[in-house]
């Protein structure tokens, strides 16, 4: 029979694998969650096309890598510009067209945009999974018994750097402070000369940049598939709901937590339960949120 040392070694190996896999995908979920929170706080809209921003962002980068060789700095610049354009175009075809419409109609426009963009991905790139090259190669890292692969390190670096850059932008630039002012009180911001529509458009564009960074991180991990946008977008929605939307750092931690939870389920229980538990968690949170809000008001 295996001794206690063998059992401890196996448990430690499982733990290391959970941390490595969970942080790799959790970083992607965290980036998606920040995009959800950024748009929601700016415009009070849940953007269900966030996953398709990741999909088209990653596929656009894939096409660019087939046409030319990209060094890391050029890849980051290309991803930022492409994501910015995608996000701005999404705003122009959803909230920009329905600013005076009901929230439900605005929400359905993002759902429709998600379906249209998925169809566009099929027409242009087909249904075959595509492997995005590692555009920001990072070294493997070992910390004692913990091992972090290149994909994990790259995803973490992209996520943390993107989050830090966004936080700096929102706190220390005029445009960033305008987004925060609109999120706090649109009427007061308008009286101060801030254009809420411009802030909404910029929030969408920044969410597009975050989605492209997530595409850079997930493309080498799981390959790019035409149907991956919805699933990853919903995971970002779950992570943002866990974090509560009010703090970018909390929603990012919600993404990391969700990634670690899924990795533990895949390794210790069953991969089939991963999706069911993630969305069961979302349902539970949605049921508890009205109660929490009511208690806070009381």
pLDDT at 91 over 60: yes
Q: Which of 142, 118, 120, 138 is nearest to 76 (CA)?
A: 138
State whether residue 196 is helix, strand or coil: helix
pLDDT digits (tens, 9 = 90+) for 193-213: 999 999 999 999 999 999 999
Mean pLDDT of 13-27: 89
Q: Which residue's structure tokens are 């990209």?
A: 70
Q: How far apart are CA 4 and CA 11, in angstroms?
A: 11
**C-beta neighbour count of 66 within 10 angstroms:** 9
pLDDT digits (tens, 9 = 90+) for 64-88: 999 988 888 999 999 999 999 999 9
Reported confidence tier of residue 15, pLDDT bands at 50, 70, 90 = confident
pLDDT at 296 over 50: no
State whether residue 44 is helix, strand or coil: coil
Could you tell me the end-to-end alpha-carbon distance of the chain, in angstroms, rounded to an integer?
Answer: 59
pLDDT of 294 reads 34
Q: Are 135 and 72 in contact (CB under 8 A)?
A: yes
Task: Tell me the H-state helices in the chain.
Answer: 4-43, 50-67, 72-93, 103-125, 150-172, 174-184, 186-191, 196-222, 228-243, 248-268, 272-297
Q: How far apart are CA 186 and CA 245, in angstroms?
A: 18
pLDDT digits (tens, 9 = 90+) for 276-295: 777 787 777 777 765 443 33
pLDDT digits (tens, 9 = 90+) for 234-293: 999 989 988 888 888 999 999 999 999 888 888 777 666 777 777 787 777 777 765 443
pLDDT of 146 reads 81
Q: How far apart are CA 52 and CA 189, in angstroms?
A: 31
CA distances from 80 to 35, 89, 203 (A): 14, 14, 14
| Lowest model confidence (mean pLDDT) among 40-44, 89-93, 290-294 | 290-294
Mean pLDDT of 34-38: 95
Main-chain dihedrals φ then ψ at residue 146, nearest 5 degrees: -90, 140
Q: How far apart are CA 68 and CA 62, in angstroms?
A: 10
Q: How far apart are CA 205 and CA 176, in angstroms?
A: 12
Q: How far apart are CA 36 and CA 282, in angstroms?
A: 15
Q: Which residue's structure tokens are 């007061």?
A: 188
pLDDT of 244 reads 85
Domains of the chain are 26-288 (1.10.3470)
Q: How far apart are CA 169 and CA 45, in angstroms?
A: 21
State whether residue 271 is helix, strand or coil: coil
Q: How far apart are CA 203 and CA 176, in angstroms?
A: 9
pLDDT of 97 reads 86
């Amino acid at each position: 029979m295996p001794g206690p040392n063998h059992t401890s070694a196996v448990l430690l190996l499982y733990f290391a694998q959970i941390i490595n896999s969970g942080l790799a995908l959790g970083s992607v979920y965290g980036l998606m969650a920040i995009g959800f929170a950024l748009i929601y706080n700016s415009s009070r809209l849940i953007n269900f096309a966030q996953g398709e921003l990741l999909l088209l962002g990653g596929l656009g980068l894939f096409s660019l890598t087939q046409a030319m060789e990209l060094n890391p700095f050029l890849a980051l610049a290309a991803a930022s510009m492409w994501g910015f354009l995608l996000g701005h175009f999404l705003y122009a075809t959803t909230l920009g067209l329905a600013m005076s419409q009901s929230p439900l109609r605005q929400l359905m426009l993002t759902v429709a945009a998600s379906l249209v963009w998925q169809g566009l991905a099929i027409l242009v790139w087909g249904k075959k999974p595509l492997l995005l090259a590692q555009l920001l190669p990072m070294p493997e890292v070992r910390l004692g018994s913990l091992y972090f692969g290149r994909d994990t390190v790259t995803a973490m670096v992209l996520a943390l750097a993107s989050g830090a850059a966004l936080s700096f932008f929102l706190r220390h630039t005029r445009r960033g402070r305008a987004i925060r002012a609109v999120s706090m009180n649109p009427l007061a911001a308008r009286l101060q000369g801030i254009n809420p529509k411009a802030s909404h458009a910029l929030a969408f564009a920044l969410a597009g940049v975050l989605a492209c960074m997530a595409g850079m991180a997930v493309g080498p991990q799981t390959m790019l598939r035409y149907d991956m946008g919805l699933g990853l977008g919903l995971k970002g929605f779950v992570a943002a709901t866990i974090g509560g939307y009010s703090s970018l750092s909390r929603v990012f931690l919600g993404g990391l937590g969700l990634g670690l939870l899924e990795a533990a389920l895949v390794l210790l229980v069953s991969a089939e339960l991963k999706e069911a538990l993630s969305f069961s968690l979302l349902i539970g949170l949605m049921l508890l949120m009205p109660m929490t809000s009511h208690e806070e008001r009381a």
